[in-house]
Homo-oligomer: A and B are copies of this chain.
C-alpha cells in the first residue's frame, strides 16, 4: 500500500491548523496574502504548494513551515 500523497497530507495539516484557529479560508487568505480559492485547492490536496507560499501560510498561523509537512 502506497503512502498517502504528500499533497493530501499537507492539505489536511493546513486545514486542521486553520480550523484550530477558528479561521475561515477567507480569513487565512487575508492573513497570508494568498487567495481563498488557492487555499481551498491546497487543503483539498490539489495543489503542489512550494516553500515560499508554505512560509506565508505558516507565518500567518504562527507556526513553523516544518509544522505543515509530514
Contacts and interface: CB of A to CB of B under 8 A. Distances in A.
Interface of A: 6-7, 10, 48-52, 54-55, 64-70
A46 to B, nearest CB: 12
A64 B69 CA distance: 8
* Interface majority SS (helix, strand, loop, mixed), chain A: helix
A66 B7 CA distance: 13
Contact of A66 (B49, B50, B52, B70): B70
Given A48-B50, A50-B49, A65 B55 contact: no
Contacts of A64: 69-70
Contact of A48 (B6, B52, B66, B67): B52
